[in-house]
Amino acid sequence: MKRNLLIFMCVVLCLWHRPASAFWGSDSTDAASGLDVAAGFDVNTITSIAGTVTSLPERKGQEQHTVMVVATNQGAVTVVLGPWWHWEKQSFSISKNREIAITGSLAQGKDGAMYLFAQRLENPESGETLTLRSDSGKPLWSRNGSGNRNGGGPHGGMGSRPGAGFRGGTRGGIR
Amino acid sequence: MRKTTRLLLFIPLCFTVLVAWFAWSAYHAAPTLAAENLRGAGLSISAAIEQLMIADPSFRSLARYTTPDIAYFALIDRQGVIRFHTYQGLIGQPFSGDVRYMLSNGISEQRERLGTGEEAYLLRTTVHARHNEYLLTLALHTYRADQVIRRANTGVTIVAALTIALWGLTLLTLGMFRREERHHREMNRREELARLGEMGALMAHEIRNPLAGIKGFAQLVETDDDIEQARKHAEKIVAQSLRMEALVNDLLAFARDDQGERQTAELSEVIQECVVLVGIEAAAQNVTIKVDAPVPLRAHVVADRIVQLLLNLMKNALQAMPDGGVLTIGLRQKSTTAHISVKDSGSGIAPEHLRHIFEPFWTSKAQGTGLGLALCRKVAEEHGGGLSVKSSLGAGSEFIVTLPVVK
């Protein structure tokens, strides 16, 4: 009886094999969204949103990246503000329930939520702005582009040119 | 493998195959369905964009066109210049890909990972506006379309979990069945051993009594000078020997497993044969025998064994009517079974004795072996039938033999 049960369990395990992965995902991929929270950016999806801050910036995940939530007309958007250590050094004031305008690269996570990789933040009331990335999307917390895998821009490669531009070309340029 | 085990395994196996097929077909069809959804959405949006391009050659109105599924879209002219992009910062920028090749290629579609890490559906197609040809690059979010894949995955997971649970329960039930079976066998074995011991004691008792008589009379023969007296003692020895012989014969008949060759016999004829055999004894006891067998019924039996069975019952009935009475033999068909009843008008059997009368070596008679009725039931059961009794004190007893009839 026990032998049969063990054989059955072995068969189930053999049939149900899946690629091994850590629970927090691989590389800098966020487990919940499936997005590259540490280095993700795509110039093609740059957009601007305006809304009310519903959740103040906080540290999150293995990558210790900073996120806050903004309520917009199109629904809640999780804004990714870069690494926590960089955010801590910024003096840009964010208050809950205050209006804010953000420009950045918009993406939909595998959890269905909208994420915005912030490029520039603006306080409409005070006119205060904070730039986190260059126009091409290069993060300001990375020196000379090292550690920035989001470089490139509109010329950052076609689908037929793997290996160039943003995170290897196909991920950053116009496709 | 026993029937219950086979059934216990067959039902979950059928369920597993059915459910696995259903889950697999849903799982297999889901990516195709998602791709079809995305293609349909992509082509609809392309058509809408083309209409807007025709209506507004400046493409300004395209900036207001948006749906939740669009990640971005761009229009590139034949010279490789981006004429429109949802991110206006890219308008007027050169496009580094081979636009002419892409334009000639017609529609192309693929899933691609964007710089954000999001997997998007990328559709490239040619659109026309005022005699100009443009390459439309359209990226769509896949979350909504992939809902079918996620549902299929969830379905497969649930089905697998349920199947595993079902098999777990099945194996558990099988284990319990087997344990119960082992327990049952052990109980039977113990009961058999106990019965064997009891039977051994009873047999020893049954044999010891005549043996003691034989021994006593033989000692008398040994010492007696009177030849006439010795002859009388010898007669007693023979009588006791016959009693032992009858016991051994009954025992052998009871223990015998071979049923002989079966033949289709007319049951009313078998009854008549038995009636003839007990007729003289019945007449001597002033017992009237009535036979009530209105319809001919045939059964596939060993006729000698059935005669032995009925004779036993009839002799028992005669012994129950020492002062005369009526012995009624009936034959009726009920469904596919023949019912042979042997009914006497004797004193009946006490209720406390009724539950023991079919047990081997149990007897209420002074000279009985206690094997007669046990043997009768055994013979009836060997033929696929049975033997039951109805009795009430002062009204007599009725033994009913059931046998399967032959059409």
**What are chain B's domains?**
3-145 (3.30.450.20), 150-254 (1.10.287.130), 260-406 (3.30.565.10)
* Closest residue on chain B to A160 (Cα): B97
- Going by the DSSP 8-state scheme, the letter that residue A36 receives in this structure is B
Which of B131-135, B206-210, B293-297, B310-314 shows the lowest per-residue confidence on average (mean pLDDT)?
B206-210
Tokens 């009925």 sit at which residue?
A: B310
Secondary structure E strands in B90-188: 108-113, 119-129, 132-141
The fold of A28-175 is: OB fold (Dihydrolipoamide Acetyltransferase, E2P) (2.40.50)
Whether the CB of A93 is below 8 Å from some CB of chain B: the reply is no
Lowest mean pLDDT among B172-181, B210-219, B246-255, B297-306: B246-255
| pLDDT band with cut points at 50, 70 and 90 for residue A21 | very low
- DSSP 8-state code for residue A45: G
* Interchain proximity B115–A174, CB inside 8 Å: no
Q: For A144, which DSSP code?
A: G
Give the closest-approach CA distance of A81 to chain B in angstroms. 13
**In this predicted structure, what is the pLDDT of residue A17?**
52
Contact call for residues B344 and B317 (beta carbons, < 8 A) = yes
| The two structure tokens encoding residue A128 | 């205060």
pLDDT at B357 over 70: yes
User: Is the pLDDT confidence value at A171 over 70?
Assistant: no
Interior/surface letters A75-88, b for 16+ CB within 10 angstroms, e for the rest:
eebbbbbbbbebbe
Interface contact flag, A35 B117, Cβ < 8 Å? yes
Asked whether the beta carbons of residue A160 and residue B97 sit closer than 8 angstroms, the reply is yes
Say yes or no: A4 contacts chain B, CB-CB below 8 A: yes
Of residues B368 and B89, the one with the higher pLDDT is: B89
Q: Is the pLDDT of residue A3 over 50?
A: yes
Residues B298 and B407: their CA atoms lie apart, in Å, by: 7
Q: Which is more confident, B392 or B369?
A: B392
Q: Which of A100-109, B40-49, B386-395 has the lowest mean pLDDT?
A: B386-395
Distance from CA of A166 to the nearest CA of B (A): 7
Domain extent listing, chain A: 28-175
Choice among B152-156, B183-187, B333-337, B351-355 with the minimum mean pLDDT: B351-355
Q: What is the pLDDT of residue B114?
A: 94
- Please report which confidence band the pLDDT of residue B388 belongs to, taking 50, 70 and 90 as the band edges: very high
pLDDT at B331 over 80: yes
Listed by number, the residues of chain A in 104-143 with a beta carbon closer than 8 Å to a beta carbon of chain B are 105-110, 112, 115, 117, 135, 137
Residues of chain A neighbouring B85 (CB-CB closer than 8 A) = 44, 174
Chain B contacts in chain A segment 21-40 (CB below 8 A): 29, 33-37, 40
pLDDT of residue A152 exceeding 60, the answer is no
pLDDT at residue A26 is higher than 80: no
A43 touches chain B (CB under 8 A): yes
Say which residue, A167 or A49, is predicted with more confidence.
Answer: A49
The helix, strand and coil proportions of chain B, stated in percent and rounded to the nearest 5, come to 55, 20, 25
Residue of chain A nearest B165, judged by CA positions: A9
Query: What does the pLDDT read at residue A31?
Result: 83
Share of chain A above pLDDT 70, in %: 67
Can you give the pLDDT at residue A39?
84
pLDDT (average), residues B16-45: 91
Range A115-135 average pLDDT: 94
Question: Measured between CB atoms, does B65 come within 8 Å of chain A?
Answer: no
